[in-house]
Structure 1
Amino acid sequence: MSIRRTSVATCLASAALIALPAFADAGSAGDWWQRLQSLCGHAYAGELIRAPAGDDAFRNRRVVMHVRDCTEDRVRVPLAVDDDHSRTWVFTRNADGIELRHDHRHRDGTPDAVTLYGGRTSNSGSADTQVFPADDQTRDAIPGSGLRSVWLVEIHPGERFVYAANRVGTERGFQVDFDLSQTVDAPEAPWGWED
């Protein structure tokens, strides 16, 4: 798999600090949402681009995202890391913007102690990129993360899907890119889901 590598730490830090009116250009967020919706039903292989030193959760593992469950205003994207099916990204759209939540489950389907953290877009972003600064719920779920965490999700149709996370003002960052040029077999259902 050949995926163009991008460095997004600077972009994340800058975008998190931009205070534009929410959905000043709703078309950009709407276009991004349509790109996400267009992936529904498909699975894509990913490649770890960067991770903090000592964080081996994704290193040298098969990573597959499956855009599995879509409604008009919610898209759930399970993430399989080898045989670990504990993670699902939940994107929800409403009048205030787009929200990203990380739903973490145990094998028996019960919620992990650290789950449902994330944030909401603070502006309309672009058709390519949406940025999700961490919210108060994240500060409660992950002590010490506060509002300094930010997630960036890029969708480049037919090329790549980028998921990145960064602690603003630090070197702590994570990025995995998914190859949108070809689909792969969908993984089994995420933990806690009915098939």
Structure 2
Amino acid sequence: MTIRTLAITAALVPALTACAHRAPEIAPQEAFWSALASHCGKAYAGGLASEDARDADWQGKRMIAHWADCSPTRIAVAFHVERDAEDGSDPEASGWDRSRTWLVTKTGTGRAARLTLKHDHRHDDGTPDAVTFYGGITAAPGTARAQDFPVDAESIALFGREGLAASLTNVWRVEVDPAGTGGAKFAYQLTRKNDPTRLFRVAIDASTPVPAPPPAWGWE
């Protein structure tokens, strides 16, 4: 072996060693799931970030997202919306709408992982709403911070039965930064493929926890 060959070999060894010890890349949906799970047990406040006139009733309302229940395959984020916030009264006196819980479930691991988003809607007595458990499954890898959930066949059938034609092309998006990240954010968003003007978006400050609210309706 020549001196030149020895020099080349010596130069390559550190690079090959670094490659061998480099941490494997985490699949986007796994990374997203880890970020979402990092908030388990915490609650954060926020509000409506979009300005669609169709959501006028939501404007100015305080909102809380509470990671109320977590398991290795399911994360339940209860979404609480203040009622009558415009009068400046105490929110517990004016009441909160606790009817909504976002359920994100994970099947598979690594690049075979798939995430599902479902909406659990309940009345204040805990009974299911007529329009409940709708959502979608991630069809593309997405990113570690954001995942899109196009409406699934089960939900399309539900919307059809309930006369909700506008919802047949829904796409939900969830965005999340890992807990402890400076300026961490969480967002829930709705758009529609058949209506490019439709935008409903809630933005939550996930860097500063707030006291956990009472359980969502039906989750007591």
The answer to whether the Cα contact below 8 Å between 2:74 and 2:103 also exists between their aligned partners in 1 is yes
Moved over 4 A (4+): none
The residue that corresponds to 1:115 in the other structure is 132
The answer to whether the Cα contact below 8 Å between 1:136 and 1:147 also exists between their aligned partners in 2 is no
1:191 aligns with 2:185: no
Distance 1:59 1:41 in 2: 27
> What do you get for the CA RMSD once the two structures are aligned?
1.6
The residue that corresponds to 1:134 in the other structure is 151
The residue that corresponds to 2:101 in the other structure is 88
1:163 aligns with 2:188: yes
1:154 aligns with 2:175: yes
The residue that corresponds to 1:20 in the other structure is none
Distance 1:67 1:74 in 2: 11
- Cα displacement string for residues 157-188 of structure 1 (whole angstroms, at most 9, x for unaligned residues): 33201111001142111001110110111111
Q: Normalising by the residue count of structure 2, what TM-score does the alignment of the two structures yield?
A: 0.73
Distance 1:187 1:146 in 2: 30
| Relative contact order higher in (CA < 8 Å, ≥ 6 apart) | 1
The answer to whether the Cα contact below 8 Å between 1:153 and 1:162 also exists between their aligned partners in 2 is yes
The residue that corresponds to 2:37 in the other structure is 37
The answer to whether the Cα contact below 8 Å between 1:75 and 1:90 also exists between their aligned partners in 2 is yes
Find the structure with the greater CA-based Rg: 2
Distance 1:124 1:26 in 2: 11
Unaligned 5+ runs, structure 1: 1-24
Partner amino acid, structure 2, of 1:177? A
Q: Normalising by the residue count of structure 1, what TM-score does the alignment of the two structures yield?
A: 0.82
1:102 aligns with 2:119: yes
1:78 aligns with 2:78: yes
Unaligned 5+ runs, structure 2: 1-24, 83-95
| Alpha carbons of structure 1 residues 141 and 178: separation in structure 2 relative to 1, 3 Å | same
The residue that corresponds to 2:5 in the other structure is none
Distance 2:80 2:31 in 1: 27
The answer to whether the Cα contact below 8 Å between 1:26 and 1:124 also exists between their aligned partners in 2 is no
| Alpha carbons of structure 1 residues 33 and 78: separation in structure 2 relative to 1, 3 Å | same
Shift of 1:146: 5.8
Number of equivalenced pairs: 170
Distance 1:55 1:93 in 2: 31
Distance 1:163 1:107 in 2: 23
Which deviates more from structure 2 when the two are superposed, residues 28-37 or residues 92-101?
92-101
